[in-house]
Copies of this chain bind each other. A is one copy, B any other.
């Protein structure tokens, strides 16, 4: 098969399309013909040699999510058969014509949705769902705050919040992105920095603060997210775009009995990845289907797989609204 290979640590120029050996599905696994994959910041880190693939994933083929069609099944597979359309988060190797996915980590693709759209779903929506609902406990009537509302995870989070009866307040420093976020279901937009978000989050909740704060930027912004929380609220840290250090006001953490939770999908053990995928297929996947779906994948641009280096450059520019997708043809 052809695959994008990280030939050495470096810039986008180290990515090469090469002929490599086909992967083989073992017990419980699906062999998937990948029709489209999507980019994540983790791909950029891995390309630079700063984020090695977890054990069991291809070492030098990037790509953490895919949409495709099952072409073969390993022993004991019961949920899928060749021809089934699936999508999945994988530990790596999605940037290739073929990839192997455990059947319990694979998710049915929404009916009638093209692969180049569905590829924008898995990582963003699963990360958002796991963070705000499964870990943060966000429920109807409650408020969510998001500090990078135009990102893949941010656009997913505000849609999930709206879909389950919660409301969201979110910030971005780019005004045009804010308008698009509002059109996706963001209730209250903040054009500014995270201190402005905290202020607005308290304002819209009558001074109380939000139940769940999703921090995609991390760094000093985490303390703003904590200031945005209501008593017993949860701040969930899923990204570190703004840095790796935060000074927290522990009086607030203690007196408001806050929870600060760090999370990442990629390094989880198999049983947890399967559990999240199953909960996602049960509770979120159906919301992408029907006449007026509650959730919509947000695709910024689609590049052919051959243009993977350009796609990486586009992601690094930080100007995307939603996901950058690779079409594998």
A interface residues, Cβ below 8 angstroms from B = 218-219, 222, 237-240, 243-264, 267-268
Given A259-B259, A264-B255, A246 and B238 contact (CB-CB distance below 8 Å): no
Cβ-defined contact, B254 with A218, below 8 A: yes
> How many copies of this chain does the complex contain?
2
**A250 touches which one: B222, B249, B252, B258 (CB < 8 A)?**
B222
**A262 touches which one: B222, B246, B254, B262 (CB < 8 A)?**
B254
SS class, residues of chain A in contact with chain B: mixed
- Shortest A52–chain B CB gap in Å is 12
A255, B268: Cα distance in complex, Å:
10
Nearest B residue (CB) for A256: B262
Given A259-B260, A260-B260, A262-B256, A246 and B250 contact (CB-CB distance below 8 Å): yes
Cβ-defined contact, B253 with A257, below 8 A: no
**A257 touches which one: B222, B256, B263 (CB < 8 A)?**
B263
A252, B263: Cα distance in complex, Å:
10
A247, B243: Cα distance in complex, Å:
12
Query: What are 22 contact pairs spanning A and B, CB under 8 A?
Result: A237-B253, A239-B254, A240-B254, A244-B249, A244-B250, A245-B248, A245-B249, A248-B248, A250-B262, A254-B262, A254-B263, A254-B264, A255-B264, A255-B267, A256-B262, A257-B268, A258-B261, A258-B262, A259-B259, A259-B261, A259-B262, A260-B260
